[in-house]
A and B are shown apart, each in its own frame.
Chain A
Amino acid sequence: MLQSVSEPRTVGEAQLAAYRFMLRARLLDDKFAALYRAGKIHGGVFLGRGQEALSAAIGVSLNKTDVFAPLIRDAAGRLAFGEPIIDAVRTYLGSALGPMRGRDGNVHRGNPQAGYLPMISHLGAMISVVNGVLFARRMKGITGIVGAACLGEGATSTGSFHEALNQAAVEKLPLVLIVANNQYAYSTPNDRQFACDDLAHKAVGYGVQAHTLVGNDFSACMEVVGGAVARARAGHGPQLIVANLLRLCGHGEHDDAGYIVPELKNSPLGRDCMKVAEEVLLQNKLADTAQFAVWRSEAIREIEEAVAQVQREPAPDPFAENWTALSSESLVEGRE
């Protein structure tokens, strides 16, 4: 199985790895969308279409021992951080064998003890949790690690964002905060979300270094995200990345995104990062179209196999469920 690698590698190798995660994420998202339309998924489906370059760049820049708190559009980053495709499928389909065992679904999945944090729905709330993991590791004498937290521009309006970024700055934690500014928080356009010229300016107020990039520029994503992660790892404190891009889908598959204005869709931000990445790989002779086709069919086969397997798996059984939210069995009322 494809894994992100922690050892140093060339720019071309990193780009190839990132593209393959992007491709798998796009195809996995497409499959979830199809399953949603077929009525096979309970609840929502949230895609990362248009944000894969940024997301994959984050995932491939992290090591297995780092910390990652992805958001809803980070299928690519999740795969690159090491999430098996089957974990994503099991969570969307609610399999009892999945990491969330049907208790939580869709994008709310992770493996906390592997540094892969399962998001709650309250935006900005995962940042301080990443801070806590980094803080604890520092207390334990573990160095050279980085924590990445992903947000949208909407989350920059929350108190949690402010508190956590300030906290990370005060503690000089190796936090990389990535804001995917996809122009709409659900349907709310940026001019109703914030009034600063550039979200990166917020970093100044916290004493944090900022980086801005165009999120469908595959090469820039790799370079800027990789650079910011390296700076955090080297002890330069929190890094804020603002990636300007456009979400090429609705907030969820229930949303036709009729509010996205044509001017944006037709602007350079509307270019699909998959196409941009393929052009970069072709130009640099890192791969050819035949290779893309092979990777594509390999990914489709892997996804179809995972879905077929999970569809045969048991659903959670309410009669076998342990209906307690406490880890301490002795403190559960009625169970002495």
Chain B
Amino acid sequence: MSITYLEAIREAQAHALRDDPRVFIYGQDVGAFGGAFKATKNLQKEFPGRVLDAPISEDAMVGLAVGSAIEGMRPIIEMQFADFSTVGFNQIVNQAATLFWRTQVSCPITVRLPFGGTSGSGPFHSQCIEAIYAHYPGIVVLTPATVEDAYSMLLSAVAINDPVIFCEHKFLYYHLKAEKLPSEALPIGKARIAREGRDLTIVTYSAMVHEALAAATELATEGWEIEVVDLRSVKPLDTDTIVASVARTGRLLCVGEAWPWGGVTAEVIARVTAEGYGLLDAPPQRLNAKDTPVPYHPNLWAAHRPTSRSVAAAARNLLRT
């Protein structure tokens, strides 16, 4: 048996619905149709009345989730694409994210964002906007890179008593496979050493973990041992694991598929520079997408985002510094 990243997300939701009567799923086309990506396939049939189509109203979808959370429910909201969550942005960052702080009433909602680029998806179906959610207090932002994490972290997301932005990468949906679903997992907030090395640390998350691992394999043929840190969660951010890795390697490259201004890679570099300046043998570097909307044509798209080739090139430059 093998299971894909997308199937793991479906299985996690089925598990959550089965285990907890407070869980329901609300989003566009999630019902009988099973979702634009089929992440809720057959769930409506299996859990009648608990997997519901929503009108095309992201603001109202999140508002409804917050109201139901106040009543003790644990809604999962599927945004059809992360890009469209900006229509519900106000409810996420001003309603959901402030509720506990203002009132001491928890807001356990999970907002699933199918995010990131795939070939041919263009400017409005490709965005990586984890950093804008992470910027706001009161939100947990998760970015699983593996099938196992997609499953276990989505289960965790539903169990967390705070709003969770669950960034699931569309590029990983179909081709990333595992033999079985995990029975245990690292806690939320812990980064994972995806590959050990001693010459340079690449800190990254989500689909870029796989680009970084491919780059590390390539660089291994040149004699370099690259350590790859998979953040798993961008908020909270596991600074300790990052700094410990930099302590071993002395060099830091941060890779993100998101745009370059600010964001997760900038945050990692700011923290390492502040907390581990003396550990660095060279100026820390970062590699992000280009500062334009995400292009449609595969030729342009491949050059817009970091790939294993550009990651390896950036790592080589840093190794020579």
Contacts and interface: CB of A to CB of B under 8 A. Distances in A.
Interface of A: 99-100, 103-104, 108, 110-113, 117-118, 120-122, 125-137, 139-140, 159-160, 163-164, 166-167, 170, 324-328, 330-333
A129 B102 contact: no
A137 B69 CA distance: 11
Contact of A167 (B60, B95, B162): B60
Given A163-B60, A167-B55, A326-B162, A129 B67 contact: yes
B118 interface: no
A111 B105 CA distance: 9
Contact of B64 (A120, A128, A140, A330): A128
B42 interface: no
Nearest to B91: A125
For chain B, which range describes its interface: under 10, 10 to 19, 20 to 34, or 35 or more residues?
Answer: 35 or more
B58 to A, nearest CB: 8
Contact of A328 (B72, B87, B162): B162
Contacts of B119: none
A133 B69 CA distance: 8
B49 A139 contact: yes
A128 B66 CA distance: 9
Contact of A327 (B57, B63, B100): B100
Interface of B: 24, 49-50, 54-55, 57-73, 75, 87, 90-91, 94-95, 97-103, 105-107, 137-138, 140, 160-162, 187-189, 236-237, 239
8 contacts: A118-B103, A132-B69, A133-B71, A136-B70, A139-B49, A166-B57, A166-B60, A326-B138
B67 A332 contact: no
B65 to A, nearest CB: 6
Given A118-B103, A328-B161, A331-B188, A135 B98 contact: no
B55 A170 contact: yes
A245 to B, nearest CB: 27
A185 to B, nearest CB: 18
Contacts of B65: 132
A325 B57 CA distance: 27
Contact of B68 (A120, A136, A167, A332): A136
